[in-house]
Amino acid sequence: MYRTRSFPPNKKGRDFVVGDIHGHFKLLTAALNKLDFNTELDRIFSVGDLIDRGPDSIDILNWLEKPWFHAVRGNHEQMLIDCISGHGDIPRHIRNGGAWLYELQLTVQHELLKALQALPLIIEIKSANDQTIGIVHAEAPIIRSNDGWQEAKDAITGNFGEQHQRQALKTALYAREKIEQQNHTSVKGIDRLYVGHSTVPSIMRLGNVVYIDTGCAFSDGALSLVEIRTETITSIDMSQVRKGTFF
């Protein structure tokens, strides 16, 4: 089942969106400490690719239980789902940082499968200043040229039929067409859309789409977070981790 999820405004605290984590949950913890993140008031939203490549992928089970942590499904979550379900490419997953999964007991693998299948493909947040903020892993799943945000959600949930849904799923998880073409056209029907998947040297915008995967899976990258209301950016470089600045 492919679904979307909506969140009401956070009128008491702050909302953050974080780029691809790729198993670097200690790094995320360090970033939240730096921000004085308040688990009673604040919320954090992930653009997906929570697992693989980094050292702490198994920690995703703990993070998904936190009431203030929310995520969309990324292509790495989809690879795990496909492989554990019996119709994925396990050697490909291992090449892309998934070897940790196959060292786990089958009961834990299926626990991960169940948790990641529950993740929505799209998150929509109403901000405190009445803006509509979207989150999807790779690209807004817009199938027809005149479609906007509502049609993207309808395509994911199957309202336009199975063929459109398959195409929308592929776009939401894997597409890079917009960034490869440097297309500045805004997505209609939404104020701002946060995406990951395509690694960028620093957070960048194309129209109203914000790319926030700054490559913490790589030695020269960083983990970046954006406070949604103020658009303030916080980044922790992997070089700081190697120097022991945070751990």
Cα–Cα distance list, 183 to 99, 148, 149, 186, 205 (Å): 36, 15, 17, 9, 10
Number of domains in the chain: 1
- Are 149 and 188 in contact, with CB atoms under 8 Å apart? yes
pLDDT in tens, the chain (247 residues): 789 999 999 999 999 999 999 999 999 999 999 999 999 999 999 999 999 999 999 999 999 999 999 999 999 999 999 999 999 999 999 999 999 999 999 999 999 999 999 999 999 999 888 899 999 999 999 988 889 999 999 999 999 999 999 999 999 999 999 999 999 999 999 999 999 999 999 999 999 999 999 999 898 999 999 999 999 999 998 876 655 555 4
| Side-chain half-sphere CA neighbours of 42 within 13 A | 17
Note the pTM of the prediction, 2 decimals: 0.96
151 lies in which domain range?
A: 4-242
For position 156, what pLDDT does the model report? Answer: 95
Residue 114 lies in a domain: yes
For position 30, what pLDDT does the model report? Answer: 93
Instruction: Out of 22, 24, 76, 197, pick the active-site residue.
Output: 76
| Side-chain half-sphere CA neighbours of 139 within 13 A | 22
Instruction: Tell me how far apart the alpha carbons of residues 59 and 33 are, in angstroms, rounded to a whole number.
Output: 18
For position 178, what pLDDT does the model report? Answer: 96
Residue 47 lies in a domain: yes
Residue 247 lies in a domain: no
For position 106, what pLDDT does the model report? Answer: 96
For position 240, what pLDDT does the model report? Answer: 67
For position 1, what pLDDT does the model report? Answer: 72
CATH number of the CATH domain containing 49: 3.60.21.10
Type of residue numbered 97: G
Question: Alpha helix locations (H) across the chain?
Answer: 25-34, 60-63, 75-85, 90-93, 106-117, 149-156, 162-174, 177-180, 238-242
Instruction: Tell me how far apart the alpha carbons of residues 135 and 5 are, in angstroms, rounded to a whole number.
Output: 10
Instruction: Tell me how far apart the alpha carbons of residues 110 and 138 are, in angstroms, rounded to a whole number.
Output: 25
Residue 163 lies in a domain: yes
- The burial class, CB within 10 Å (0-12 / 13-18 / 19+), for 86 is exposed
Mention every residue, 6+ apart, whose C-beta is less than 8 A from residue 198: 138, 176, 179, 211, 213
Of 231, 229, 214, nearest in space to 27 by CA: 214
Residue 11: phi and psi, rounded to 5, are -90, -5
87 tagged catalytic: no
Residues in the chain: 247
Number of H-type helices and E-type strands within the chain: 9, 11
Residue 222 lies in a domain: yes
For position 241, what pLDDT does the model report? Answer: 62
- State the helix-helix crossing angle for 106-117 and 75-85, rounded to 10 degrees: 130
